[in-house]
C-alpha cells in the first residue's frame, strides 16, 4: 500500500479531465472521417495499444478472475456496447456543431447517476439531492418547451454514460483491463464493419499516406492516456474530490464550442445551463457536506 500524495493526485486528475475536455480538438482534426468509422478505429487502436500496455503494466490475476466469472464477460460486453454508443454520439455531436449539447450531457451525468441509483439500486435520495435532480429536470423541460423537442444528444450522452457506470459496478474489474476487454469484445464488430464497407475512407490505400491516418492511429493512446491519469489520481485522492474535478471537462467543451467553433449560446439554451449548473451546485454542496461529516475532504486517506 503506497502513501497518498494529494498534490500528485490533483495534477493527474486535472490532466485527465483537461484531456477529456480538449477531445473536440482531436475529433475536429479527423472530421472528414465519418463518426462511425472513427469509433471503429477507436475500438481497433484502443484494443491494440491497451493490450500492449497490459503487457507492460501488470495487473496480476485479472484474466484468471474473469475466466472464473464468465458472467463478468457478458457484463463487459454490455458496457462495451454502451461506451461505444456514447463515443459515437459524442463524435457525431462534435463534428456536427452540437458541442454545447454534448457539454450539457456531461453536466447532467452526475445527476443522472443519482437518479439511476434511486430507481435501480434502491438508494434513498437526500433532500438536497432531490433539489438537484429537480433543477436538472426543470432545465431539460425548459429546453423541450422552448425548442419543441428533447435535447436528445445531451440525454443520450448522460444516460449511456450513467448506465455504463452502473453496469461496470456489476463487473469489478480494474479500469485498464476492463477497457481492454470491452474493446476486444467489440473487435469482431469493428473488423466486420470494415470488411462490409470497402468504400470507407480508411479502406482506401491513399488515405494512409495522409496526416489523418496518424490521427486515427492516435485514437488508441488518446483514449488510454487520460484513463491512466484518472486511475492514478484515484489512488491519491478521495473519490469525492475527483467528483468535483469532473466539471472541468464539460466546461472546456462548452468554452471550445463558443469561443473556438462559433456555436451560439442562445438565451433559451443558457437558461437550461443555468438550471443544470444550479442543480450541480446543490449536488456538490450535498457531497461536500457528506464528505466533511466523514472527514474525507479535510484529509485524504493516508493509504489507498
Nearest CA to 86 out of 100, 105, 72, 113 is that of 105
Q: Give pLDDT tens digits for 170-221.
A: 777 777 888 888 899 999 999 999 999 988 988 888 888 888 889 999 998 9
Task: Indicate if the pLDDT at residue 278 is higher than 70.
Answer: yes
- What band does 166 get if pLDDT is binned at 50, 70 and 90? confident
| Reported pTM | 0.85
Residue tagged 434511486 (cell numbers):
118
Find which of 68-72, 141-145, 211-215, 250-254 is predicted with most confidence, using mean pLDDT.
250-254
What's residue 86's pLDDT?
Answer: 93
Centre a 10 Å sphere on the Cβ of residue 119 and count the other Cβ atoms it contains. Answer: 9
> What's the CA angle centered on 254, arms 25 and 26, to 5 degrees?
10
Give the mean pLDDT of 228-235.
Answer: 80
Query: CA-CA distance, 164 to 82, in Å (whole number)?
Result: 6
What's the distance, CA 239 to chain centroid?
16
Question: Residue ranges per domain, the chain?
Answer: 6-294
What's residue 302's pLDDT?
Answer: 34
Higher pLDDT, 196 or 268: 196
How high does pLDDT run on average in the chain?
Answer: 85
What's residue 297's pLDDT?
Answer: 45
Query: CA-CA distance, 42 to 230, in Å (whole number)?
Result: 19
Q: Give pLDDT tens digits for 90-137.
A: 999 999 999 999 999 999 988 888 888 888 888 888 888 889 889 888
Nearest CA to 180 out of 38, 302, 63 is that of 63
Query: CA-CA distance, 277 to 129, in Å (whole number)?
Result: 14
Amino acid at each position: 500500500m503506497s502513501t497518498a500524495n494529494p498534490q500528485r493526485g490533483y495534477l493527474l486528475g486535472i490532466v485527465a479531465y483537461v484531456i477529456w475536455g480538449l477531445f473536440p480538438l482531436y475529433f475536429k482534426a479527423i472530421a472528414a472521417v465519418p463518426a462511425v468509422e472513427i469509433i471503429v478505429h477507436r475500438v481497433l487502436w484502443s484494443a491494440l495499444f491497451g493490450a500492449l500496455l497490459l503487457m507492460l503494466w501488470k495487473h496480476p490475476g485479472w484474466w484468471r478472475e474473469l475466466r472464473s466469472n464468465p458472467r463478468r464477460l457478458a457484463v463487459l460486453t454490455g458496457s462495451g456496447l454502451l461506451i461505444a454508443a456514447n463515443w459515437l454520439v459524442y463524435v457525431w455531436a462534435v463534428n456536427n456543431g452540437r458541442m454545447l449539447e454534448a457539454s450539457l450531457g456531461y453536466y447532467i451525468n452526475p445527476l443522472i447517476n443519482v437518479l439511476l441509483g434511486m430507481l435501480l439500486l434502491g438508494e434513498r435520495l437526500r433532500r438536497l439531492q432531490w433539489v438537484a435532480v429537480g433543477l436538472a429536470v426543470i432545465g431539460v423541460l425548459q429546453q423541450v418547451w422552448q425548442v419543441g423537442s428533447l435535447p436528445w444528444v445531451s440525454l443520450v450522452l448522460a444516460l449511456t454514460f450513467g448506465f455504463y457506470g452502473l453496469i461496470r459496478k456489476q463487473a469489478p474489474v480494474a479500469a485498464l483491463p476492463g477497457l481492454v476487454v470491452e474493446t476486444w469484445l467489440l473487435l469482431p464488430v469493428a473488423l466486420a464493419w470494415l470488411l462490409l464497407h470497402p468504400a470507407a475512407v480508411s479502406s482506401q490505400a491513399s488515405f494512409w499516406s495522409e496526416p489523418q491516418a496518424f490521427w486515427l492511429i492516435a485514437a488508441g493512446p488518446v483514449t488510454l492516456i487520460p484513463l491512466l491519469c484518472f486511475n492514478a489520481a484515484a489512488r491519491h485522492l478521495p473519490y469525492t474530490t475527483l467528483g468535483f474535478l469532473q466539471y472541468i471537462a464539460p466546461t472546456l467543451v462548452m468554452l471550445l464550442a463558443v469561443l473556438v467553433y462559433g456555436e451560439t449560446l442562445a438565451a433559451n439554451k443558457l437558461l437550461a445551463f443555468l438550471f443544470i449548473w444550479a442543480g450541480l451546485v446543490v449536488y456538490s454542496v450535498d457531497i461536500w457536506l457528506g464528505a466533511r461529516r466523514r472527514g474525507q475532504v479535510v484529509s485524504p486517506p493516508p493509504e489507498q
